[in-house]
Amino acid sequence: MTSSLPLIMLGAGGHAKVLLALATALGSKVAGVCDPALAQSGLTHWRGVPVLGSDDALNQFSQDDVALINGIGQVIGSGVRAKVFARFRDRLFHFPPLLHPAAWVAATAELGDGVQIMAGAIVQPDSRVGPNTIINTRASIDHDCQIGADVHVAPGAILCGGVTLGDRVFIASGATVIQGISIGAGAIVGAGAVVVRDLEAGAVLLGTKPRLRPHA
């Protein structure tokens, strides 16, 4: 699911690399990249894609000229990804959902603008995924989940059926949220954690602590 318009990547970090590969797998061409660090470096191309400059380079385009890919990864506590998305969405730029060919999304699932579904991810029937949300590699979203905006469900995380996530929630790699749980806006669930009760907004639940056994 992409746009018929030329695509411009915002950001050039690790997440952007994955999205460039995803767009290529979909047969879509990324016509340019905007990134402040690349603009200062003087490089003309990034991974074969023309460097247009910083985000201000988009001032030369209108929403009728290009569609955008938010290639900025979700760094906990920074909010940069959400701010960039809101800035250009307010200017009516389109962020098409990106679905990897190796992902599976049910026909009755609803995806907001700019949703990114990575390889091996699953979104089951009647789940709703809000705008600018990342469902990362091999994450599993079961039936009837309600996921807000600017959420990141990291690689290998599992949401059982009927889970609700507020905006800006971060579910780290390998975490599991059992059926029917509600997690408030801005909460963080650590890697490998198992969520068995509701979490309020802004809560932080750490994952399992590793133990190092002494040698026999």
Query: How many C-beta atoms surround the C-beta of residue 52 within 10 A?
Result: 21
Question: In 3-state terms, what secondary structure has residue 164?
Answer: strand
Question: In 3-state terms, what secondary structure has residue 130?
Answer: coil
Weakly modelled stretches of the chain, pLDDT under 70? 1-2, 77, 208-216
Q: Give the pairing of strands 45-46 and 49-53.
A: antiparallel
Contact status, residue 169 vs residue 146, Cβ threshold 8 Å: no
Quote the pTM value: 0.93
Contact status, residue 135 vs residue 120, Cβ threshold 8 Å: no
Contact status, residue 30 vs residue 9, Cβ threshold 8 Å: yes
Check if 94 is active-site: no
Q: For the chain, list the domains and their CATH numbers.
A: 7-90 (3.40.50.20), 97-209 (2.160.10.10)
As a whole number of angstroms, the distance between CA 37 and CA 14 comes to 14
Tell me how long the chain is. Answer: 216
Q: Which pLDDT score, from 0 to 100, does residue 216 have?
A: 53
The amino acid present at 167, given as its one-letter code, is D
As a whole number of angstroms, the distance between CA 67 and CA 81 comes to 16
As a whole number of angstroms, the distance between CA 183 and CA 191 comes to 16
Q: Give the active site residue among 100, 143, 152, 215.
A: 143
> Token pair of 191, please?
């890697």
Q: Which pLDDT score, from 0 to 100, does residue 26 have?
A: 92
Which residue shows structure tokens 């990575």? 118
3 φ, ψ to 5°? -105, 155
